[in-house]
Structure 1
Amino acid sequence: MLDTLTFLLQRLFLLAPIGLSSRLPPPPLPGRCDRDEAPPQPAPPHRFQRGDLLEVPRTLFTHFGIYLGEDRVAHMIPDILPVLTAERRQVQEMVTNTRLLLGVLAKRASVRVDAVEDFAYGAVIRLNAMDRAVLRGPLPRGPLPGEEVARRAELMLGSVSYSLLWNNCEHFVTHCRYGSAQSLQTDQFCEWLKLRILAQRNVLLTALLGLLSMVCLGISLSTALPTLVIPFTLWMAS
């Protein structure tokens, strides 16, 4: 079972070896400019200020970090190794895909410090692009002073719990920069997903997925009950 989950995660997270955030198409993603606005410009190298929020695109995700100064970035990344060893040198090495995927499965992560180049992993860095989206949100709040943002990030360094949707790298940076942990991308994705699930035409698909889980995992109370209850509940709620 673990091998199957690892294989599926590898297919999903391929080419995204540094960090995860729940940016999944096709729902529109918050934290980006509207269509009638100019896209945020890449930040010139070595022009970052302490406390800046940096983001880099991955193949399927966007990864976030807080600039600490002196070419250092604090960021949250799934990692299984801190659970297995306290050897600081090993933990501080570059996180491999295997470590990352096992960290996702184990729901463990590290808030670690890496060089800007390692954090970017060859991608273009965008600077404070989330500020505008947060100010347009339901509870608009500007960023905290840069020194406080950086201190918040430094206080969180070390092993932490992780959730792909509920406690990821975007929650980390928004807690540091705005004083409230949130993931704008997760919120909008979940809203999009809820609308799709509640549509009556998708109830049959949900039932078929349940039957498929019974075929793959075997017939048991844990597979049969959701297969029957979830489609019925969704049908009644739609």
Structure 2
Amino acid sequence: MPLCGNNIKAVCVSNGIRVKAEEQKEFAMAEDKKPNCGDLIEIPRGLYQHWAIYVGDGYVVHLASASEHANAGASSVKSVVHNKATVKREKLEDVVGNDTYYINNHLDEKYEPHPIQDILQDAKILVDKELQYGVTTKNCEHFVTLLRYGQPHSQQVEDAAVYGSLIAGIVVLGYVIFKLATSKDKEKEKNEHGNGK
């Protein structure tokens, strides 16, 4: 059975103190980043976050498209085009590389986490399996939240949709303002030329 450490969050929970998702990130950093079995691991990669689930003894399980591997090259494009990714069990430090990570069980207040043994068993069964992959519907965050909660969920996809809609709205508003301004200028110009004759 994998060895999993205790953390401040567990002490808080055992004493009836609720811990918000954003506080969990702070706890993870304050505790030298020692996750417990079943914890979701968020790894910021610049424009997106990669996600894994901690399975003990320094290992995580994650859905890895070819783009998640260093020096992926042409195989990265191939994996996205073919919509496939492989479930990997790897050392947390190898998956994180030079990046940082956070323990982020962000849906604990919304969904009841599965029992740890079920999470570990399901993760073990999936290792080395090739699964469908989709950036917006079946990504690494969907994969780990399905394991932990039984619900595929991706906050980064939801955030991207909100930001995309906001940007689209701003562009449309800018276009409308531009059109109104230019139509008023044309009308003014037309009136000036029409009155000058």
C-alpha distance after superposition, 1:119-143 (max 9, x if no partner):
111222212x233x552xxxx2132
| Off by >6 Å, runs of 4+ in structure 1 | none
Alpha-carbon distance between aligned partners in 1 of 2:35 and 2:24, rounded to the nearest angstrom: 21
Q: 1:130 to 1:202 in 2, by over 3 A?
A: farther
Q: Any unmatched runs of 5+ in structure 2?
A: 1-19, 177-197
Do 1:77 and 1:100's aligned partners in 2 also have CA atoms closer than 8 Å?
no
Q: Which residue of 2 aligns with 1:5?
A: none
- The 5-angstrom pairing of residues 173-212 of structure 1 reads 173-198=144-169, 200-201=172-173
Alpha-carbon distance between aligned partners in 2 of 1:156 and 1:170, rounded to the nearest angstrom: 15
Letter in 1 for 2:90: D
Alpha-carbon distance between aligned partners in 2 of 1:70 and 1:149, rounded to the nearest angstrom: 15
Q: Which residue of 2 aligns with 1:96?
A: 71
Q: Which residue of 2 aligns with 1:142?
A: 112
Q: State the Cα RMSD in Å.
A: 2.7
Do 1:197 and 1:203's aligned partners in 2 also have CA atoms closer than 8 Å?
no
Q: 1:160 to 1:96 in 2, by over 3 A?
A: farther
Do 2:44 and 2:50's aligned partners in 1 also have CA atoms closer than 8 Å?
yes
Following superposition, the deviation at residue 145 of structure 1 comes to 1.9
Alpha-carbon distance between aligned partners in 1 of 2:124 and 2:154, rounded to the nearest angstrom: 20
Following superposition, the deviation at residue 107 of structure 1 comes to 1.4
Following superposition, the deviation at residue 194 of structure 1 comes to 2.6
Select the structure of larger CA radius of gyration: 2
Count of aligned positions: 151
The answer to which of 101-110 and 173-182 deviates more is: 101-110
Query: Which residue of 20, 38, 55 corresponds with 1:68?
Result: 55
Alpha-carbon distance between aligned partners in 1 of 2:85 and 2:43, rounded to the nearest angstrom: 19
Q: TM-score, normalised by structure 1?
A: 0.55
C-alpha distance after superposition, 1:191-235 (max 9, x if no partner):
33234335533779xxxxxxxxxxxxxxxxxxxxxxxxxxxxxxx
Do 1:67 and 1:74's aligned partners in 2 also have CA atoms closer than 8 Å?
yes
- The 5-angstrom pairing of residues 63-142 of structure 1 reads 63-79=50-66, 96-98=71-73, 99-127=75-103, 129-131=104-106, 133-135=107-109, 140-142=110-112
Alpha-carbon distance between aligned partners in 1 of 2:150 and 2:174, rounded to the nearest angstrom: 38
Following superposition, the deviation at residue 32 of structure 1 comes to 6.6
Q: Which residue of 2 aligns with 1:44?
A: 32
Letter in 2 for 1:168: N
Do 1:78 and 1:101's aligned partners in 2 also have CA atoms closer than 8 Å?
no
Alpha-carbon distance between aligned partners in 1 of 2:125 and 2:32, rounded to the nearest angstrom: 28
2:125 counterpart of 1:155: yes
Q: Which residue of 1 aligns with 2:179?
A: none
C-alpha distance after superposition, 1:129-171 (max 9, x if no partner):
233x552xxxx21322222122222222211111111110000
- Percentage identity across aligned positions? 24
Q: 1:202 to 1:111 in 2, by over 3 A?
A: farther
